[in-house]
A and B are shown apart, each in its own frame.
Chain A
C-alpha cells in the first residue's frame, strides 16, 4: 500500500519523472535518459566540489550563492532536457520556460544582499563543464 503510494507520487510528478517526457507517445529512449542521468550526476559532483572550494577560500556567502546558482543551473538543464525529450512526439517546438530560471536567479540575487550575483551566475553555468566532460568521455 505504502509502496503503491510512493510509486503513484513519483510517476505523476513531471519534474521528477524522467519518463514523463516520452510516456505520452509510448516512445522510450533509454539512451537519452541515461545521458541525462550521467550529466546530472556529474553536475552534482561538480557542484559539491566547487561549493566546497568556494566556501573554503571565499567564505560561506560565496559558497551559498554558488550552490543556489548550481541548483538553478541543474533545474534549467532538466527543463531543457524535458523540452527536447518532448520534441517531435508531443510538441513541435522546444519551450522557453527554462529561460525563466536565470531570470529568477538574477532577480533573487539582486534583491537579497545575502547572495552574490557573480558566484550565483558562475554556479548556474556549472552544468556546461558537466556537459563537456560527459560528451568528451562518451564511448
Chain B
C-alpha cells in the first residue's frame, strides 16, 4: 500500500466512525431520556417501554456499527491496498 492510500484510508476510517456516531449518539440519548421518563411516570408499563427501547437502540446502534465496520475494513482488510 502506498503512503497516499494508507493516509487516505486512515482519514476515511476516522471520518466514518466519527460522523457515523453523531446521529445515533444524539438519538440514543433522547430515546433513553424519554424511556426513563416514561418508566418513572408509568412503572406498570416498564416491560413495554424497555422492549421498545431495545428495538430502537438495536436499530440506531446498527448505524454506528456500519461506520465501524467500514473503518475496520479500511484499516485491516483494505480492498485498495493491492
Contacts and interface: CB of A to CB of B under 8 A. Distances in A.
Interface of A: 27, 29-32, 34-36, 77, 80-81, 84-85, 87-88, 93-94, 98-99, 102-103, 106-107, 109-111, 117, 121, 125, 127-128, 131, 135
B48 interface: yes
Contacts of A125: 62
A99 B73 contact: no
A109 B46 CA distance: 39
A32 B72 contact: no
Interface residues of B, number: 27
A135 B55 contact: yes
Contacts of B32: 87, 93-94
B9 to A, nearest CB: 14
A117 B47 contact: no
Interface string B28-62: 10001001100110000011101101110111011
Contacts of B10: none
A35 B64 contact: no
Given A35-B51, A94-B57, A128-B59, A29 B46 contact: yes
Residue in B35, B65, B69, B73 with the greatest tally of chain A CB atoms within 10 Å: B65
Nearest to B65: A102
Nearest to B56: A84
Given A32-B54, A106-B69, 7 more contacts: A29-B46, A31-B47, A32-B50, A99-B64, A103-B68, A106-B72, A117-B73
Nearest to B64: A99
